[in-house]
Amino acid sequence: MDTAAKSAPDYAGHSAAHTPGPWEYVPSNENHGPYVVNGWGAGDICDCYTMSRPSELAVCNGGTSKPIHFQHDEADANARLIAAAPELLDLLERASEADSPNEDIRTAWWEERAALIAKAEGRQL
């Protein structure tokens, strides 16, 4: 793991085996499909698209390979879901708090849950 990933804060104080979040969704355009990057400068988390000529450079880098556009809608949805993964995992790990007798904790958890589902689905609340 590189230095940037090691120094990034963990959610809820746990030590993650994956690259710590937050992760950011980068939408597709005419030169590339969607991908997910680490918000802490650790680089790409994953590319969520297929190129027309995977062994060649992309058009934006002087090559002839282009993203396959018929897959963009599904690929963008996959990238949004992957980008939300660290926060969704953190929320699930804190799910026991939702059973708290404290109404404020339950309400905050429920609102955060709704916001993360919207993020994963590419919606705004």
Return the percentage of the chain with pLDDT > 70, whole number. 79
Residue 12 is assigned to a structural domain of this protein:
no
How far apart (Å, rounded) are the C-alpha atoms in residues 22 and 3? Answer: 16
Assigned domain for 115 exists: yes
Which residues constitute the domain of residue 40?
18-121
pLDDT band at 6 (very low <50, low <70, confident <90, very high): very low
Tell me the C-alpha distance between 55 and 120, whole Å.
31
Q: Number of structural domains, the chain? A: 1
80: in domain: yes
Residue 61 maps to a domain: yes
Q: What is the mean pLDDT of residues 78-96?
A: 86
- More confidently predicted of 39 and 3: 39
Q: Output the pTM of the full model.
A: 0.66
The answer as to whether 3 is a domain residue is no
* Residue appearing with tokens 């993360």: 116
pLDDT the model gives residue 13: 53
Q: What is the pLDDT of residue 80?
A: 92
Quote the CA–CA distance of 68 and 81 in Å, as a whole number: 20
Is 67 within a domain? yes
Q: Does any domain span residue 6?
A: no
